[in-house]
Amino acid sequence: MEIVKDLKYLRQPCKEAQETDQVKDIAKMLLQEMETHQLLGLAANQFGVQLRIFAMRMDPGTPICLINPTIVRSYGGSELKEEACESLPGRMAMVRRPKKVKVRGWNQYWRRVKYELTGRQARVACHELDHLQGVLIIDREEPVGVGNRLIGRPSSSGLQYERSEPV
Ligand SMILES: [Zn+2]
């Protein structure tokens, strides 16, 4: 399957999924597609399914899938880092994310699951949850400016900036 890149479509929030065999199959398909495309994470609407389901890779560990996910807690402060998105080829954005999140939902067998994620995994989960709400990295992009004591903007060829001195 092809990854959706149509922003008009990606900006539509997804609906809650019901407990059906079809939904469980979609969850399993997402896990498979994530492997096939070697992605860190994948939201259902990136595959043309408008349901609240995403898959992500655990490091280390087996990939996980979350149906109707919610972040129940964000903690440990936040971090501003460069992020990319499969649906926005070549585009990078500096996005602030919590360092730690507690996320809850159902897995592909419709069992209740809860994960505590940190660092990159917390970032990926937030990115995918944003997708399900129709939010993209370009909507969250923070200008790299005086407030962050960085000059310049991130570019697809890598982050180019200079540190400025505090005044
Ligand atoms: Zn994305």
Reported as a single tens digit per residue, the pLDDT across 12-27 is: 999 999 999 999 999 9
**Token couple for 151:** 């000059």
CA of 4 to the centre of ligand 1 (A): 10
d(CA 17, CA 51): 6
Delimit the domains of the chain by residue range.
Answer: 7-157
pLDDT at 7 over 50: yes
C-alpha 70/C-alpha 113 separation (Å) is: 11
Give yes or no: 116 in active site: no
How far, in Å, is the centroid of ligand 1 from the Cα of 77?
Answer: 22
pTM, full prediction = 0.86
Return the residue matching tokens 């990159």.
120
Q: What local confidence, expressed as pLDDT, does residue 87 receive?
A: 96
pLDDT at 147: 54
pLDDT-derived band at 165 (thresholds 50, 70, 90) equals: very low
**Which of 19, 35, 116, 128 is an active site residue?**
128
Q: Give the tens place of pLDDT for each residue, 77-106.
A: 999 999 999 999 999 999 999 999 999 999
C-alpha of residue 90 to centroid of ligand 1, in Å = 12
Q: What is the pLDDT of residues 99-155, one digit of tens each?
A: 999 999 999 999 999 999 999 999 999 999 999 999 999 999 998 765 554 444 554
103 CA distance to ligand 1 centroid (A)?
A: 18
Task: Look at residue 60 in the predicted model and tell me its pLDDT.
Answer: 84
Q: Is the pLDDT of residue 163 over 90?
A: no
Q: State how far the alpha carbon of 50 is from the alpha carbons of 10, 32, 111, 153, in Å.
A: 9, 18, 21, 33
**What is the spatial distance between Cα 89 and Cα 92, in angstroms, rounded to a whole number?**
9
Specify the CATH number of the domain 7-157: 3.90.45.10
pLDDT, tens digit (0-9, with 9 covering 90-100), for 41-76:
999 999 999 999 999 999 888 999 999 999 999 999
CA separation for the pair 101, 126 (Å, rounded): 8
